[in-house]
Amino acid sequence: MGADRKAEDIERGMDRVVREIRALGPCLEGSLKENAKARYVKRDGTVSEYPTAPILQYRAGPKTRGYRRIPLDRVAEVRGLLENGRRYRELASRYERLSAGLALRFKKKA
């Protein structure tokens, strides 16, 4: 009886995680490099720097990364997508743990 109840609790937890993942909406896995600077050499030979648009490094597929410059007015939106991606990874990890716990439950023989 207790083993069945424990399995039901795990399944409820898995359902809760799936609902949270669906509620997240769009997300990105990656990072945002905001301190990018470009260098140029002046006629007198000195090197100067100027700030550039932030660079988003994101997952473009298995073992591949994509890079894209982000306009300054869209940085807050991209940060929100990255936060959703971080939350998605946490939820997926929790789902895996619950799933493994459910799969490895062994019932005692009577």
Distances (CA, A) of 41 to 35, 51, 93, 105: 20, 15, 48, 66
Q: Which residue type, as a one-letter code, is found at position 48?
A: S
- The tally of domains found in the chain comes to 1
Band of the pLDDT at 104, cuts 50, 70, 90? Answer: confident
Range(s) of the domain holding residue 8: 2-103
Q: Does 109 reside within a domain?
A: no
Q: Does 108 reside within a domain?
A: no
Q: Does 99 reside within a domain?
A: yes
Global pTM? 0.76
Q: Does 110 reside within a domain?
A: no
Distance CA 80, CA 62 (A): 23
pLDDT at 107 > cutoff 80? no
Q: Does 33 reside within a domain?
A: yes
pLDDT digits (tens, 9 = 90+) for 8-31: 888 999 999 999 999 999 999 999
Distance CA 45, CA 62 (A): 43
pLDDT reported for residue 76:
94
* Cβ neighbours for 20, distance < 8 A, ≥ 6 positions apart: 91
